[in-house]
Structure 1
Amino acid sequence: MDDAQKQDIYRDFEDAVNMTPKELENWLETEESQAVGWTREGESEAVGHKSGRRIVAIKRTRKADLTDDDYAHMRKVVGYVHRHGAQGGTRDDEEHSRWRYSLMNWGHDPSR
């Protein structure tokens, strides 16, 4: 991965993740956060919840110290936020929807 690709991924990640590390950390502690998402067989934590914890770590890492693995995860986050965000939530109660909660596990609050 070259520097130009990393710059693009970093910019897209910063655009997609609109929650601060502290906001995301607090959110991940809620029952709503832990009640959504898909869990791999044999694991107890949903994929999105685990990703949220990784996002907090990435956001707290100096840009110069990010690894290629961090950039790969950042790209995954951007893809998820774009795909899932395009699906839209239920308009009746979007604020309290599983759709919103799932996106928030990935660091993106669509109500902002």
Structure 2
Amino acid sequence: MTDALELDTLWEDFHRVVNMTSSELATWLRVSEADEDTEPLPDHAGEPLGQHVLGILQKRRTDLTDDDIEVMYEVVDTVSAEADLENEPASDETRHRHRLMSLGHDPLKP
């Protein structure tokens, strides 16, 4: 289990790298899964990891489970490794941007 100080740091890091609101992420997950004829149900849109991030965004820190904490570490590590948090992204990196958005990080958002 994670101690309180480590959890505080993780909570801050997670909310720093996940810069989309829960409604923005929910909308993105639905849009990214939609095709010409159908749109998935909101609770089933997107990859499981994106759905888990959405669930965490809707929780209080005291309600986190061990699975949530694992996902938070994974998201912080992935976004930190794949996103250039210091520089503007190139506009031609659409696929890369969409992958990060599925984790709740929009590189084009200030």
Same fold? TM cut 0.5:
yes
Percent of pairs identical after alignment? 39
Deviations 1:31-77 (CA, angstroms, capped at 9, x unpaired):
xx349xxxxxxxxx9xx822111111111112111122211110110
Cα offset, 1:100, TM superposition: 0.3
Q: Which runs of 5+ in 2 are unaligned?
A: 35-43
Question: Which whole-Å CA distance do the structure 1 matches of 2:64 and 2:7 have between them?
Answer: 10
What is the TM-score normalised by the length of structure 2?
0.77
Q: Which residue of 1 aligns with 2:92?
A: 93
Where does structure 1 differ by over 2 angstroms across 4 or more consecutive aligned residues?
A: 90-94
CA distance in 2 between partners of 1:58 and 1:50 (Å): 12
Find the counterpart in structure 2 of residue 67 from structure 1: 65
- Who is 1:9 aligned against? 10
* Count of aligned positions: 96
Q: Whose helix proportion is higher, 1 or 2? A: 1
Contact 1:49 1:106 in 2 (8 A): no
User: Partner residue of 2:54?
Assistant: 56
C-alpha deviation, 1:27, in angstroms: 0.3
When residues 74 and 91 of structure 1 are mapped into structure 2, their CA distance, relative to the original with a 3 A threshold, is same
Which runs of 5 or more structure 1 residues have no equivalent in the other structure?
A: 36-44
